[in-house]
Chain A
Amino acid sequence: MSPALTAISNTGTAPLRFPHRNLLGIEGLSADEITFLLDLADSYVQQNREADKKSTILRGRTIINLFFENSTRTRTSFELAGKRLGGDVINMSVSTSSIKKGETLIDTAMTLNAMHPDVLVVRHPDSGAVALLSQKVNCAVINGGDGSHEHPTQALLDALTIRRRRGKLQGLLVAICGDILHSRVARSNIQLLQIMGARVRLIAPATLLPAAAERLGAEVFLDMRKGLKDCDIVMMLRLQTERMQGSFVPSIREYFHFFGLDYDKLSAAKPDALIMHPGPMNRGVEIDSEVADDIDRSVIREQVEMGVAVRMAVLDALTRDPAQRNAPHGK
């Protein structure tokens, strides 16, 4: 266990429960609410390392993983989280659903709602689709990633990973590098890190930065060495290969040469800077294999472990008080 763990137990300011019905994004969460989720997740990290990993908190509850976009990691992580808490988990993916037969998103939501699930975990390729769906159902909805908008559990698991290693988020300098334009992970992380008092830098070629990137409160850099200077944390983003040929960046070799994380570029960051990646990695595209596998610097596998704990915490928090489910949507 990290020696830092003792330093991060309840600050005393965190609320005793999570006051929201859904987790649609990081936007709108307070530092206390985030701290509450991270503290709760911390306790599940321990549970997940025991031989008997199962509890009964979600016994009798139904969780539906509704994935309109391919995913192995996130879906498995949510599935494990639900099962370890004793819930019944059902996976629905787009290829087996009636979406392909022309059913609209809202019809799907109404149909599923009629089956009385307790939690819907939804991933959708369109930004805003998960929020739309949440308005039509009575149960809690967790955003498992919507388009290029938000991926809140990823940001939470990143925060947990950092907090366990560094003891805090406040005051850290975090670089998020790569395909910011298309990344929901980046949008959730930019918000969470800033809410928690960290400073954020965005590093990318100009074609992979959103038009108003500097309005997100982060510093923007077009050069890795300049942007990584003095950073505590280096978060790499996945570059989707369908965006490689000529449209956004001209080639893999050029991208790797200027924006791939290797030891040379990493040397600009603090000597003990941590390397993170939401996965799945493209080795030799956005990250050099040696760096990705560096056991002293890379916490990429730890992120996966934290992912299950964070999702258990979110499922727990959203199902604790059934009365909440009938409360009006919102904060």
Chain B
Amino acid sequence: MATKLDAGGANGHARVAYVNARLIDPAAGLDAPGALLTEGETIADLGPDLFKPGVPEGVATVDCKGLYLSPGLVDIRVQLREPGEEHKETISTAGAAAIAGGVTTMVCLPNTEPVIDDVAVVEFIARRARELKRAKVYAYAAATRGLKGKDITEMGLLSEAGAVGFTDGVRAIADAGVMRRALSYSTTFNALIVQHPEEPSLAGMGAMNEGEVATRLGIAGIPTAAESIIVGRDLRLVEMTGGRYHVAHVSTAETVELIRRAKAKGLSVTCDTAPPYFALNELAVGDYRSFAKLSPPLRSEQDRLAVVAGLADGTIDAIASDHAPQDQDSKRLPFVQAECGGIGLETLLALSLELYHNKKLGLIDVVRRLTEAPARILGLKAGRLEKGAPADLLLFDPARPWVVQERAIRSKSKNTPFERRPVQGMAVRTVIDGRTVFQAAA
């Protein structure tokens, strides 16, 4: 790209024309060549005919060269590690990784130190993110105090402070009575409860998917039933309480089917998955690779195919990165002792585009699962190209090939399960509130 990084300017009322773009906006069903105008922090106009006669004087121009201009990606499952574990990641380093990956909005989990279960911590995260001016950051608050799974949090006050949903992060809300109460109480404020679907008493000491691979490696397994049992239980509680419920990182065929049936029944349920669950299976654990130790664990090929099918038919609403930074000390351990999780902000777009390249989903549907759908689940003002919306944009080249390599990773932690994987599709320019915050090297 010829334009300098600051095109689109710091000037609050600057007008920038994005011409020669392929506009893609799933919310409007738009996929057509055209142009878009931003004015200050918002989208002022867009359409196939905009600037047909030429760009007026005084408007900066970005030539998109036929690449796709979409809403910036909305990643609804990110662990920032700040406050508390800044040696693994910070709001600043995660922000740098996010914008390089085309993510303009992140929603962070409450499993920080201190836990996000208090209004003051929600406000701290929002202030830090504002100061850094990288990706926008929203926070989930804890569903139970201290993530202890017992007493529900101040969902009303936390919602007023800006918490977009309630979850115990990487822990399940395991007690059925507590879950009932959380779902019931949340209806008072129309708040969303997000579940990490794993029944702890079935997961036990398990470290990977229960099955042949775990058997051969001699590692205690986590059965798929650990996921489907808690989702099945929760769906029954949703029916009882009328709560709004979201299942994070769906990983099994059984769960996909449970949610498919619940949606057919009209229950207020949504779900997401993450790239490892449609782009990898348990074989990635290979020779005890701790970078492939995730939570939920990588599943069987049959589960992976069911997740792909769930994405294709819309049972799975959204794709999130499930970004979980772990430092070397946490991963360079015997497999069973290593921490769970993989980073994902910088690979979210390219891995999701594999679904398009493999002809499982249309491009507009891939973009929908990364933008409009997650924004809608959480009620965020993001994920759409429309007049008056925040000018959070992603210009991307779906075909551009690259290889995931540790040295190019911007995240503070480097624990990707996709190391050395050749992928296709790259963020070329990321715009937040009308300001270009990232441009890829040519």
List the B side residues contacting A222 at CB < 8 Å: 187-188
How far apart sit A206 and B152, CA to CA, in the bound complex (Å)?
13
A205: CB under 8 A from chain B?
Answer: yes
How far apart sit A253 and B155, CA to CA, in the bound complex (Å)?
12
**B188 near A250: Cβ-Cβ < 8 Å:** no
**A206 near B185: Cβ-Cβ < 8 Å:** yes
**B151 near A245: Cβ-Cβ < 8 Å:** yes
A246-B185 in contact given A206-B241, A254-B157, A258-B156 (Cβ < 8 Å): no
How far apart sit A249 and B156, CA to CA, in the bound complex (Å)?
10
List the A side residues contacting B376 at CB < 8 Å: none
A251-B154 in contact given A206-B241, A246-B145 (Cβ < 8 Å): yes
A249-B187 in contact given A206-B241, A254-B156, A258-B156 (Cβ < 8 Å): no
How far apart sit A251 and B152, CA to CA, in the bound complex (Å)?
9
A13: CB under 8 A from chain B?
Answer: no
List the B side residues contacting A258 at CB < 8 Å: 156, 188
Chain B residue with Cβ nearest A222 = B188
A257: CB under 8 A from chain B?
Answer: yes
**B241 near A250: Cβ-Cβ < 8 Å:** no
List the A side residues contacting B156 at CB < 8 Å: 254, 257-258
A249-B145 in contact given A206-B241, A254-B156, A257-B157 (Cβ < 8 Å): no
List the A side residues contacting B360 at CB < 8 Å: none
List the B side residues contacting A205 at CB < 8 Å: 185, 188
List the A side residues contacting B153 at CB < 8 Å: 250
Q: How far is the CB of B259 from chain A (nearest CB, A)?
A: 23
**B181 near A247: Cβ-Cβ < 8 Å:** yes
Q: How far is the CB of B34 from chain A (nearest CB, A)?
A: 43
Chain A 208-233 near chain B by CB (<8 Å), digits 1 or 0: 00000000000000110000000000
List the A side residues contacting B154 at CB < 8 Å: 250-251, 253-254
Q: How far is the CB of A294 from chain B (nearest CB, A)?
A: 25
Chain B residue with Cβ nearest A211 = B240
B171: CB under 8 A from chain A?
Answer: no
How far apart sit A250 and B144, CA to CA, in the bound complex (Å)?
9
A207: CB under 8 A from chain B?
Answer: yes
List the B side residues contacting A263 at CB < 8 Å: none
Chain B 126-148 near chain A by CB (<8 Å), digits 1 or 0: 00000000000000000011000
A249-B150 in contact given A206-B241, A257-B157 (Cβ < 8 Å): no
Name the interface residues of A182-212: CB closer than 8 Å to any CB of B: 205-207
B184: CB under 8 A from chain A?
Answer: yes
List the B side residues contacting A246 at CB < 8 Å: 144-145, 150-152
Chain A 242-286 near chain B by CB (<8 Å), digits 1 or 0: 000111111101100110000000000000000000000000000
Chain B 181-200 near chain A by CB (<8 Å), digits 1 or 0: 10011111000000000000
Q: How far is the CB of A254 from chain B (nearest CB, A)?
A: 4
How far apart sit A205 and B186, CA to CA, in the bound complex (Å)?
9
How far apart sit A257 and B161, CA to CA, in the bound complex (Å)?
13
Name the interface residues of B91-144: CB closer than 8 Å to any CB of A: 144
**B184 near A250: Cβ-Cβ < 8 Å:** no
List the B side residues contacting A207 at CB < 8 Å: 152, 181, 184-185, 188
List the A side residues contacting B188 at CB < 8 Å: 205-207, 222-223, 258
A247-B151 in contact given A205-B185, A206-B241 (Cβ < 8 Å): yes
How far apart sit A49 and B387, CA to CA, in the bound complex (Å)?
71
Q: How far is the CB of B115 from chain A (nearest CB, A)?
A: 14
How far apart sit A248 and B185, CA to CA, in the bound complex (Å)?
8
List the B side residues contacting A248 at CB < 8 Å: 181
List the B side residues contacting A254 at CB < 8 Å: 154-157
Chain A residue with Cβ nearest B183 = A206
How far apart sit A253 and B153, CA to CA, in the bound complex (Å)?
12
How far apart sit A223 and B185, CA to CA, in the bound complex (Å)?
12
Chain B 160-189 near chain A by CB (<8 Å), digits 1 or 0: 000000000000000000000100111110
How far apart sit A205 and B157, CA to CA, in the bound complex (Å)?
13
Chain A residue with Cβ nearest B153 = A250
Chain A residue with Cβ nearest B241 = A206
Chain A residue with Cβ nearest B186 = A206
Q: How far is the CB of B7 from chain A (nearest CB, A)?
A: 46
Chain A 169-181 near chain B by CB (<8 Å), digits 1 or 0: 0000000000000
List the B side residues contacting A206 at CB < 8 Å: 184-188, 241
How far apart sit A218 and B179, CA to CA, in the bound complex (Å)?
27
* Contact residue among B151, B157, B184 (Cβ-Cβ distance under 8 Å from A253): B157
List the B side residues contacting A223 at CB < 8 Å: 188
Chain B residue with Cβ nearest A254 = B154
Chain A residue with Cβ nearest B185 = A207
List the B side residues contacting A253 at CB < 8 Å: 154, 157
How far apart sit A205 and B188, CA to CA, in the bound complex (Å)?
5
How far apart sit A257 and B186, CA to CA, in the bound complex (Å)?
16
Chain B 286-326 near chain A by CB (<8 Å), digits 1 or 0: 00000000000000000000000000000000000000000
List the A side residues contacting B185 at CB < 8 Å: 205-207, 249-250
**B151 near A250: Cβ-Cβ < 8 Å:** yes
* A222, A251, A253, A254: residue with the most chain B Cβ atoms closer than 10 Å: A254
Q: How far is the CB of B92 from chain A (nearest CB, A)?
A: 32
List the B side residues contacting A249 at CB < 8 Å: 152, 185
Name the interface residues of A27-51: CB closer than 8 Å to any CB of B: none
**B155 near A250: Cβ-Cβ < 8 Å:** yes
Q: How far is the CB of A255 from chain B (nearest CB, A)?
A: 9
Chain B residue with Cβ nearest A245 = B151
How far apart sit A254 and B152, CA to CA, in the bound complex (Å)?
12
Chain A residue with Cβ nearest B117 = A250
Q: How far is the CB of B379 from chain A (nearest CB, A)?
A: 17
How far apart sit A222 and B191, CA to CA, in the bound complex (Å)?
13
Name the interface residues of A59-104: CB closer than 8 Å to any CB of B: none
List the B side residues contacting A251 at CB < 8 Å: 154
Q: How far is the CB of B241 from chain A (nearest CB, A)?
A: 7
How far apart sit A245 and B151, CA to CA, in the bound complex (Å)?
7
How far apart sit A248 and B188, CA to CA, in the bound complex (Å)?
12
List the A side residues contacting B186 at CB < 8 Å: 206
Q: How far is the CB of B238 from chain A (nearest CB, A)?
A: 13
Q: How far is the CB of A97 from chain B (nearest CB, A)?
A: 34
How far apart sit A46 and B301, CA to CA, in the bound complex (Å)?
84
Q: How far is the CB of B244 from chain A (nearest CB, A)?
A: 12
How far apart sit A254 and B163, CA to CA, in the bound complex (Å)?
15
List the A side residues contacting B181 at CB < 8 Å: 207, 247-248
Q: How far is the CB of A161 from chain B (nearest CB, A)?
A: 30
How far apart sit A89 and B309, CA to CA, in the bound complex (Å)?
76
How far apart sit A39 and B12, CA to CA, in the bound complex (Å)?
73
Name the interface residues of A1-39: CB closer than 8 Å to any CB of B: none
Q: Top 7 closest A-B pairs, CB basis? A: A246-B151, A254-B154, A205-B188, A206-B187, A250-B154, A206-B184, A207-B185
Q: What are 13 A-to-B residue pairs whose CB atoms are below 8 Å?
A: A206-B185, A206-B187, A207-B152, A207-B184, A207-B188, A222-B188, A246-B152, A249-B152, A249-B185, A251-B154, A253-B157, A257-B157, A258-B188
A205-B185, A254-B154 known, 13 other contacts, Cβ within 8 Å: A206-B185, A206-B187, A206-B241, A207-B181, A207-B185, A246-B144, A246-B150, A246-B151, A247-B181, A251-B154, A253-B157, A254-B155, A254-B156
